[in-house]
Structure 1
Amino acid sequence: MDTSALTTLGHHLQSLRQARGLSLSQLASAAGIAKSNLSRLEQGGGNPTLDTLWRLAVQLHVPFGTLVAPINVPLGEEDGVQVRLIDQGQDTPQVDVYWMHCDAHTTRRAEAHTSGVREALTLISGALEAGPEDETVWLLPGQSLCFAADQPHLYRTHELAATLMLTITYDREKSAP
């Protein structure tokens, strides 16, 4: 992320944290990150990983898209993976749509999302193995997969890079305003 995007993310993160009445220490501890890293992130510094952003969103009880909505650039490249929020639904249940690119020979392990969250992905190009860690499926362009994302899951490429559209649907009761 560039400096402008980091500054925007930091201000938004700070306002979400304060709106929930959490101190830096409380949020950092709950998300499993150092307080100094959270402080630096809120000040527009640092280089947050996708996992860090996901953990912060979970602890703030907001969809990932709500945390990153003000940013319109890819969320950095982490271990060969780039993610960009395309659109964030305003209805219930909350539905977010992302563009995702995985370089060749990449494995991206994702922590379990909150209860009731589902992911649906459609492969645009390349080849991709995805799904819950013990039930992965190989996809070719045009093929889709839907699974419960409230368990650890992964995205894996081999010789070919992969580009996909990823839709995350949050639990209807937990995404209600």
Structure 2
Amino acid sequence: MDRLSLSTLGQHLQTLRRARGWSLSQLATAAGIAKSNLSRLEQGDGNPTLDTIWRLAVQLDVPFGTLVAPIKVPLGEDGVEVHLLDQGQDSPRVDAYWMRCAPHTVRHAEGHTPGARESLTVISGRLEAGPEDDIRPLGAGDTLEFHADQPHLYRTRDTWATLLMSIVYADMQAEP
């Protein structure tokens, strides 16, 4: 992630944390990350993983897209790139993402906020995806919907996979 994006993410994260009246220690403990890592992240330093950003979003009770909306470059790690395309402003909240997975990638995702649902539509390539106890093979044009408030995964074999992902958040309102 570039320096400007990190700084923007850090400022946004700090604003959301303070608006809830939380200390660095409270949020770090709730998200299961070191206070020093959260402090560096808020200062625009560090190298946050997608999992760290997801955990922070869950603890702050905001869509992942709310944290990454100010970032204009794709976020990526371990063969997966994610880019926020749009955030709905209605209720329920809906975020839309472009996602690309390199060959031989396995991405384990933690559960999102309670009641969240995820929909994947494969644009090109092949992958297996879904809740960890119900993985489904998908190819170009296939769509899969599942409850995303439980651990799930994305796995590619020999090819790249590009997909559109939408997440519908239950009982979540737009941030001001």
Interval containing the TM-score (normalised by the shorter chain)? over 0.9
For the residue of structure 1 that corresponds to 2:39, the secondary structure is helix
Map 1:93-172 → 2, pairs under 5 A:
93-171=92-170
Quote the offset at 1:134 in angstroms.
Answer: 1.0
| One-letter identity of the residue aligned with 1:142 | G
Tell whether 2:43 aligns with 1:36: no
Say whether the 8 Å CA contact 2:80–2:101 is kept in structure 1.
yes
Which residue number corresponds to residue 55 of structure 1? 55
Say whether the 8 Å CA contact 2:85–2:98 is kept in structure 1.
yes
Quote the offset at 1:72 in angstroms.
Answer: 1.2
| One-letter identity of the residue aligned with 1:106 | T
Identity, % of aligned pairs? 69
- Could you list the runs of 4 or more consecutive aligned residues of structure 1 that deviate by over 6 angstroms after TM superposition? none
Quote the offset at 1:117 in angstroms.
Answer: 0.3
Quote the offset at 1:150 in angstroms.
Answer: 0.9
Say whether the 8 Å CA contact 2:68–2:84 is kept in structure 1.
yes
Gaps of 5+ in 1: none
Which residue number corresponds to residue 83 of structure 1? 82
Which residue number corresponds to residue 92 of structure 1? 91
Quote the offset at 1:176 in angstroms.
Answer: 6.8
TM-score (norm 2): 0.97
TM-score (norm 1): 0.96
Quote the offset at 1:130 in angstroms.
Answer: 0.3
Quote the offset at 1:161 in angstroms.
Answer: 1.0
Quote the offset at 1:175 in angstroms.
Answer: 3.4
Which residue number corresponds to residue 20 of structure 1? 20
Which residue number corresponds to residue 6 of structure 1? 6
Gaps of 5+ in 2: none
